[in-house]
Amino acid sequence: MKRARFISKGRLLQGHLQNGMLVDHAGETHHPDEVVWQLPVQPGKVLALALNFAEHAEEFGLRKPTEPALFWKPNTSLLPHKGTVIYPQGARFMHFECELAVIMGRNARRVKAKDALDYVGGYTIANDLVVRDYVSNTFRPPIRGKGWDTFGPLGPYYVTADEVLDPHNLRMRAYVNGELRQETTTQGMIFSIPEVIEFISRFMTLEAGDVILTGTPKGISQVHPGDLMRMEIEGLGALENPIEWETEEAEPVLSEEGDRSLVL
């Protein structure tokens, strides 16, 4: 099921996609173009993997990691579908990264890889935006390069795990202004989703609602103010976000705070 959180007629609602329309829990329908999209889940922790596709490491002339290379994606960076990404003043090279995002369905601690997918609640699409100017040393977490407000678009749907038969064989595409910039499949991951969950849960409890970004393949390219980014992953829909210049008055377009008890 493709679940969604959105605001319609001043109400924060949860529902699902049915026949091209959003249907809330009361059975009322809402046109997707007439709602204000919210994050598909109100996440706890957001972790991301650097260089989890060999071809992406090769793209930058870097060696493959020998274990999952993790960094934090701050919650203040998160942005829903259709939200506006703010291009930081002074940035010279900013690029998109289309990624499969894993949403934990229940708490996981010391989970073995063979059991790990049982702990996954579902999946969504992420765009792990980067100012490459500030990523100069791969052995330091790229917080400054990737942690800007609005640099973590996520959505549009929470697609439950039962609808994704093989998360390691999904077609990924990224478009900028309608031009195809990136295309491959999730088969290229160095560390599979079960391996990543096993690795993280050895030292950290993963909680229901936590999100893991699983890395991007080769093909990233520069984006600019005025561009419209569209990230597509097979079966998960399409995540779209425009980019605008940062101004002194600019404020991050963040999702409205939801009730953590409503994690889908």
Domain ranges of the chain: 1-37, 39-248
Segments in the chain below pLDDT 70: 57, 60-61, 136-141, 248-264
- Closest residue by Cα to residue 221 from 93, 100, 128: 93
Residue 137, pLDDT score: 60
Cis peptide before 80 (omega within 30 of 0): no
Q: How far apart are CA 244 and CA 252, in angstroms?
A: 11
Q: What pLDDT does residue 232 have?
A: 98
Residue 190: count of CB within 10 angstroms of its CB: 21
Domains 1-37 and 39-248 share a fold: no
pTM (2 d.p.)? 0.91
The yes or no reply on domain 39-248 and CATH 3.40.50.450 is no
Rounded distance between C-alpha atoms, residue 88 and residue 21, angstroms: 35
pLDDT of residue 243: 98
Integer Rg of the chain from CA? 17
Q: Looking at domain 1-37, which CATH architecture does it have?
A: Roll (2.30)
Q: How many CB atoms lie within 10 A of CB 25?
A: 9
Q: What is the pLDDT of residue 167?
A: 98
Q: How far apart are CA 215 and CA 213, in angstroms?
A: 6
